[in-house]
Structure 1
């Protein structure tokens, strides 16, 4: 193990401990505000979000979408793979921020279009991440793994613990996981991002909120992807 890998392993464990900490009072207060705020959002918005997430899960598992036209050369070292991930994350973060600002500026109706667009950007990043690690995103188990990486980034504390266990023992669990419960998936995702994303629908502040939220959500996905694929890397060497 070289110096980069030694540092990466330590950093990976520190990130896991940080993410496994119980939610603080600020998070619990935000959750209460989110529930109250959601009650005034039109039902058609809630339905659109649910349908978008369900379709994203179905498309991902079917392998019929989100593929990237960018051809990926697989580097030899973990350091080079993660450098590529960092560069692509920067690209997708900017794209997500621009998209969030554009749709957020349009108020509730244009803001609704942000949800499926943002999901597409996130999945394209994960497809490229799988490729740069020499994994085939067309393989069902790899598409399933991407959805667990997604949940690692955007889930409640309790569900994240379950996802960590699956990712940390992927070679064992992938033999048992045939499908993914999209209802649990969409509820966890919605609960995680709803409050800040719903603010994007408010005229006047939507553009600023949309750009900031989308940039931050891609950052969180990038951190989860680094952890998950590092875990795969080190597991393959043990």
Structure 2
């Protein structure tokens, strides 16, 4: 994990620092990532469902209510709010320079999330439950910054849907990932797009996100081990979202380049 001094400020990265991108390597990395996304659910995926249900039963109902409300609030924030997606798109720079910016942002947000998760995990049920909306805000802000690094973003319906598709794909269940990937690819191709933000099935998105993070995050609520689990889980969740965001932006970049 990088120390704060190792994280490069976006303003300190010259846009022309790297001018050549190995397109063959980029396409190969995207292809390998797509293969992982499309992989069929394995024994581990099926086994975790039962474990998740057992953990859920020991968590107080009021904690479940806080989590559900937090997921819904975050989703509505992406759909209708403005403060979480306020990063200004970077208009100039090569793909390599943009990815340098994006990686620096992911490192910064990933480290912040890890520290925040460790503190919350040491505080018991109530404080750990409060970590949910805080982590959501970190992830959404990071997603907005990463997309902006590639030159996109803003408050339009189309750009908000791009953010939702990335978020959905990152945290969809193994069974639902192929469908979530197909929805993202249709968005990139401009096929079957909703005319209004309210047409997006945000409830399905909310349920998918909740189901994905429950097992890992509920373990954070367990006394004694909650702190280290919280730090690792937050770090990995943000890292996963960061990877998905970069791959989605690469796909969009290549699609727009023809």
Q: Normalising by structure 2, what TM-score?
A: 0.86
How far apart are the structure 1 equivalents of 2:191 and 2:174? 20
Query: In 2, are the aligned partners of 1:118 and 1:214 still within 8 Å (CA)?
Result: yes
Name the counterpart of 2:127. Answer: 110
- Please say if 1:181 is aligned against 2:201: yes
Tell me how far apart the structure 2 counterparts of residues 161 and 202 of structure 1 sit (CA, whole Å). 33
After the TM superposition, which residues 192-207 of structure 1 pair with which residues of structure 2 at under 5 Å, given as runs? 192-207=212-227
Contact 1:149 1:224 in 2 (8 A): yes
Q: Matches of residues 68-217 of structure 1 in structure 2 within 5 Å?
A: 73-170=90-187, 171-173=189-191, 175-176=193-194, 178=196, 179-217=199-237
Quote the RMSD (CA, aligned, Å): 1.7
CA shift in 2, pair 1:47/1:173, >3 Å: farther
What displacement does 1:72 show?
6.1
Tell me the CA shift for residue 177 of structure 1: 5.7
Q: How many residues align?
A: 236
**Segments of 4+ in structure 1 off by > 6 A?**
none
Report if the CA contact (8 A) 1:60-1:143 is conserved. Answer: yes
Q: 1: CA distance between counterparts of 2:192 and 2:163?
A: 12
Instruction: Identify which range, 33-42 or 71-80, moves more after superposition.
Output: 71-80
Whether the 8 Å contact between 1:130 and 1:142 is mirrored in structure 2 is no
Q: Normalized against structure 1, the TM-score is what?
A: 0.93
Shift in Å, 1:236: 0.4
Change (3 A) 1:107 1:201: same
How far apart are the structure 1 equivalents of 2:88 and 2:255? Answer: 26
> Which structure 1 residue ranges, 5 or more long, are not aligned?
none
Residue 40 (structure 2) aligns with: 22
* Cα deviations by residue, 1:95-149 (Å, 9 ceiling, x for unpaired): 0001000111001010011000000000001111221121132222111110110
